[in-house]
Amino acid sequence: MKLFHPDKLKRYAADLLQAGGYSPAHAENTAEILVWANARGADSHGVLRIPRYIEMTEEGTIDPVAVPHVVSREGAVSVLEAARAPGPSAMIAAMDTAVETAGRFGIGWCSARNITHAGAVGYFALRAAENGCLGIVMTASGPLMAYHGARVSGLSTNPISIAAPSQGLPLLLDMSTSTVALGKIMHARDTGSAIPEGWAIAADGTPATDPSDVATLTPLGGPKGSGLSLMIEVLASVLVANPAIAPVLAGEKGAMNGAALAIKIAAFGEPDTFAEHISDLADRLRKLPRAPGTDKILMPGERGFCLSAERMQNGIPIAEGTLKRLAAVADRFGIVPPAPSNTPAGTMNKGP
């Protein structure tokens, strides 16, 4: 692992994406979200994604210059056509539309059709919390995860994030419906690490521990994870007549979609009182008697916020395998990679 200054890493990411065809605005949005994920320790959704994003651009899966736009509105509901634009830009537009709608109606829902991989969806839910709303975000894509009881992919790892403002750190739940996100398998490959049994399934249906043997991922909590993923497909895809799963299972091409929901806290009561109650709830949970081996009871997102504060100051560690793949892209486009900072990655505090 080598450390990189956040601004330099972000500039490097944006330069690579722009060289790969992204418009400047899309490159900046995507780089921002990738480095945000790395800073929080979510390397599975960080800069390791860049080579694949550029491949998807060259394959025509991502339109690197498309401009997402709202195509319909009815009351508090909007539909945004992303036209295969980079997912981060599409979901920023969707959440900003939802927040604006919530300002008028108390609640806003924006469905985003035909997005591409959006990265860490907590970024978009947090965007709502920073604007006086509860934020809920979901994305749905093609099969990557086994349906409970099957040994092949039948659903996606469809993530969901919920953010709530507080007097202190916001509550930020950000989870995939698989046991782990696919990016964790990618990160294990980059670091040369084995994966725990239970994360994934090999082609013969047995548990995979070598990331190179992974055929599909397992659902979180068995039927609970696959059931939640299925319902996200209903809410994000089927609702806007743009299914992501059924066409692929039928041998055809599927879609990728997102949904952003903003709930205006002031429509229900005093925002300061809400924030106070959230802080009180978190404090009381933290003071519960701890289970053996537990040093600290953490709230959703707390570890990421604390780690990000440190890494934004001291540097962000990136795996050697990721750096090699990024360097190959940089060499292709004539981009000079940034020099790592001097602090050894092993000396950094790993957060609470």
Whole-Å CA distances, 192 to 52, 131, 184, 320: 19, 41, 12, 10
Can you tell me the distance from the alpha carbon of 31 to that of 47, in angstroms, rounded to the nearest whole number?
8
Residue 349 in this model has a pLDDT that exceeds 80: no
| The pLDDT of residue 350 is above 50 | no
Q: What local confidence, expressed as pLDDT, does residue 343 receive?
A: 54
d(CA 80, CA 185) in angstroms, rounded, equals 31
Structural domains present in the chain: 1-65+302-352 (1.10.1530.10), 66-178+219-286 (3.30.1370.60)
Burial class (CB in 10 A: 0-12, 13-18, 19+), 38: buried
pLDDT (average), residues 97-126: 98
Question: Which position has the token pair 């349906």?
Answer: 147
| Mean pLDDT (whole number) for 79-98 | 98
Predicted model pTM:
0.92
Name the residue type at position 232: I
Across the chain, mean pLDDT equals 95
pLDDT, tens digit, 9 for 90 and up, residues 252-282: 999 999 999 999 999 999 999 999 999 999 9
Judged by DSSP in three states, 270 sits in coil
Which pLDDT tens digit goes with each residue over 183-226?
A: 889 889 888 899 999 999 999 999 999 999 999 999 999 999 99
